[in-house]
Each structure stands twice: as structure tokens, then as C-alpha cells.
Amino acid sequence: MDYRDTPQEAEFRASLRQWLTENIPVGWDKIEDPEAAAQMRRAWHRTLYQAGYVGMSWPVEYGGRGLSAAYDAILNEEAGNLNAPSLPSVGYMGRAVYTYGSEEQKKHFLPTLLSGEAQWCQGFSEPEAGSDLASLRTTARLDGDHYVVNGQKMWTSGGQYADWCLLLARTDSDVPKHKGISCFLVSMKEPGVTVRPIIIASGEAETCEVFWDEVRIPVSQRLGEPGEGWRIAMTTVAYERGPADIGFIASYRRTLARVERLAAERGLLDQPETRKQLARAYVRGEVLRLNCVEQLAARVSGQQPGPEGSVAKLLWADAEQSLQHLAMDILGADELTGTESGWLSSYFTSRPVSVYGGSAQIQKNIIARMLGLPR
């Protein structure tokens, strides 16, 4: 496959680059107040949507433009190159709804998800069911024309700002654990839903624990058939695990350039060990980029994301954590004594990359099954 832009894609890229240059919010990355940052993200989502840059590869009948996945990749790359705010993560949530939802659900939920009018979170992980998601204990008991949900979810990113949740709950305890899970579309404003932000090591509250106490959900808000939750979850995470889908490749390059400047400022570029670590960081980034290009080529040709996404997830975690560790090695003890350069926070933020979306151990198990290795 020729990985260069087609004439149409090149024209789109140039137009998009100009638009981003003119519309990226000034000073967005200097906002410290969490509420103000959340409002900025919502406004950015609406701005992108109004310009036609959200859900470009979605089917036209569901509000998209019916373009190939290459256009979404170009958006992520250019946004990353220009240090734009994070792009709205509507892809994997929307994929679940328009793949498994009824026509009524699609018409009701997809327009506001796409436009940013409604913000969504993902209620999958639990205190004792993180990587082993099939062991979840949150239950949904059928009571007439409603399900009654009780349980707890953990590591729910953005839960404090979400309007709706894509929720997994156990509806049948008498079948194998993977087969007794169903999926629901739940308003976070329902009585009995309690959200508690979690302050992580970086000092940010980007994730939450959510408690569900006798929460009543109409049967009409079950997504798919009873017991189909595991299948829906696997479709969702397949679209969630791609580093190319969040502009990571471009942001990694920017961070590597910053680390190189940091080493130069401290007179370390002539040291063999520093040069070797910088070279390794470059190679890790290139390996990840080429892996993502290969997966993008498969998606453009019509293939759906599969277990090979676990390879990219492992490469992504290794690249990000290694680069942040190198930055800390270059800074040394200075970064721990109140310089407030932001590197320490970035280092802490990189640590859970190997856990969320499925831990490194789980990704390796998926790859092992893909290769036909013994369980």
C-alpha cells in the first residue's frame, strides 16, 4: 500500500492545518482549574463538530461524512503536531451504539454524542475486575420494564463531567461469566448514582469511582441483547486501544524534541549513555508509528480492529513510559525539589498507561492467543 496522502487527502490536510492554526484555543494548556478545563473541552468539541471534523468516518446516516479512516488519522496527526487540545473520544463510544443499538437508540443518542451536547464515560472496570473484566460484580436485576443496578465502578475517566455512561453489569449469574454480562446506556443524573473523583499521583482528578445504588434503568436503554455485553465491550476496547487515534504519535515526537533540548541545556548530548537512550526513544517512536500505519492500512481497506491492537498498546506504553523516565534521569533530583517544570507530573501520568485499556499482562495474553500459544 502507498502510505502517502492521495491528492484529496493532501488537500484536506492543508485545509485542516490552516483551520487548526486559526481555531486552537489560545492558552488552553495553561488552564489549571478543572472545571474551566472541562468547559474548554466541551467548547472545543462543539467547535470541531460545527466545522465537520467529528465522526468523519462514521456512516452518513448516523451523522458522519462516510470518509475513510485515513481522514480521522490525518486529524489526529495534525492536531498532535499543532498541540491542540485532546480530540473528542466519540469514536469507540459511538461505535458501540451504532453497531449494536436499535434504530430508536441510534436516533436518540448518536446526534448528541457526536455534537458534544452529551458527554459520555465508560463504566467497565471495578475494584476487583479491572483487567479481568469478566469477573465484574455490578448487577442489573430485571424488575418489570426496568433493570435495577447495584455495584461500583472504578477508574471511570471523566465520570464527574459525564452526562451518560456505557455501563456493563451482570444480568445472569448462572452462565459462564463472559456470557452473563449485559450493556446499558445510563444517565449519570439518575437517582442512586454517586460519583467520587480520584486524585491520582499527578495531582489531577481525571478518573472517578462511581457507586450504583438501586439505580433504575428502562429496558429500552439496554444496548444489544441480554448477555451480549462482553461482545460489545470487546468491540469498544478494540477502537479504544489505538495510540494513533488520540494523536499520540505526534505528541510523542514533540515530547522527544523537548527531551533532546533538555539534554542539550544540561550539556549531556555528548555523553554516550544519553545519546544511546535518545536513539532508543526515537526507535521506539518509529516502531510504534509504523505499527499504527499498518493497522490504519487495514482499517482503510475495510478490516475491523482486532487483537493486533494489543501490540500497539504495548508499544505505546513502553514508548511513553521510557521517554518520561529518560526525562527524569536527565533532570535528576532537581525535578523533585519544587522546580514546577511539569515533568514530574507527566512522569506520574505516564505510569498508568500500561494499565488502562487492559494491562500489559492482559495484552500479552491476547497476543499469545492470537499466535496460537498455549493458554
231, with CB counted inside 10 A (0-12, 13-18, 19+), is middle
pLDDT average, residue stretch 222-232: 95
pLDDT average, residue stretch 201-217: 88
Q: Which of 29-38, 217-226, 268-277, 288-297 has the lowest mean pLDDT?
A: 288-297
The single-letter code of the amino acid at 371 is L
pLDDT average, residue stretch 301-305: 72
Beta pairing, strands 164-170 & 181-187: antiparallel
pLDDT average, residue stretch 151-179: 94
Query: With contact defined as beta carbons under 8 Å apart, do 230 and 86 qualify?
Result: no
| Rounded CA separation 164/8 (Å) | 36
User: What does the pLDDT read at residue 202?
Assistant: 67
CA dihedral of 335, 336, 339, 343, whole degrees rounded to 10? 50
| 229-240 pLDDT per residue, tens | 999 988 887 766
Query: With contact defined as beta carbons under 8 Å apart, do 271 and 329 qualify?
Result: no
| 252-300 pLDDT per residue, tens | 888 999 999 999 999 999 999 999 999 999 999 999 888 888 877 777 7
Q: Look at 316 and 243; give whichever has higher pLDDT.
A: 316
Q: Which residues are catalytic?
A: 240
Query: With contact defined as beta carbons under 8 Å apart, do 209 and 200 qualify?
Result: no
The band of 2, judged by pLDDT with boundaries at 50, 70 and 90, is low
Provide CB contacts within 8 A for 158, sequence distance 6+.
119, 121, 206, 207, 208
Most confident of 117-121, 145-149, 293-297: 145-149
Provide CB contacts within 8 A for 247, sequence distance 6+.
76, 77, 79, 80, 84, 86, 87
| Rounded CA separation 119/100 (Å) | 19
Of all residues in the chain, the percent with pLDDT exceeding 90 is: 54
| Rounded CA separation 57/129 (Å) | 32
User: What does the pLDDT read at residue 239?
Assistant: 65
Q: Which of 241-250, 308-317, 323-332, 335-344 has the lowest mean pLDDT?
A: 241-250
Strands (E), 171-232: 181-187, 193-198, 207-218, 222-223
Beta pairing, strands 146-153 & 207-218: antiparallel
Residue 263 cell numbers, joined: 539534554
Residue 219 cell numbers, joined: 429496558
- Residue 111 pLDDT greater than 80, yes or no: yes
pLDDT average, residue stretch 19-38: 91
Residue 51 cell numbers, joined: 466545522
| Rounded CA separation 168/152 (Å) | 11
- Average pLDDT score over the chain: 88
pLDDT average, residue stretch 18-28: 95
Q: Which of 101-105, 204-208, 259-263 has the lowest mean pLDDT?
A: 204-208
Q: Which of 13-27, 181-195, 308-322, 343-357 has the lowest mean pLDDT?
A: 343-357
Quick one: angle between helices 69-81 and 272-300, nearest 10?
150
The band of 28, judged by pLDDT with boundaries at 50, 70 and 90, is very high
Q: Look at 237 and 360; give whichever has higher pLDDT.
A: 360
- Residue 43 pLDDT greater than 80, yes or no: yes
- The CA–CA distances, whole Å, from 102 to 10, 40, 118, 168, 225 equal 37, 32, 19, 18, 10
- Residue 49 pLDDT greater than 80, yes or no: yes
For 143-182, the three-class secondary structure string (H helix, E strand, C coil) is: ECCEEEEEEEECCCCCHHHCCEEEEEEECCCCCCHHHCEE
User: What does the pLDDT read at residue 1?
Assistant: 58
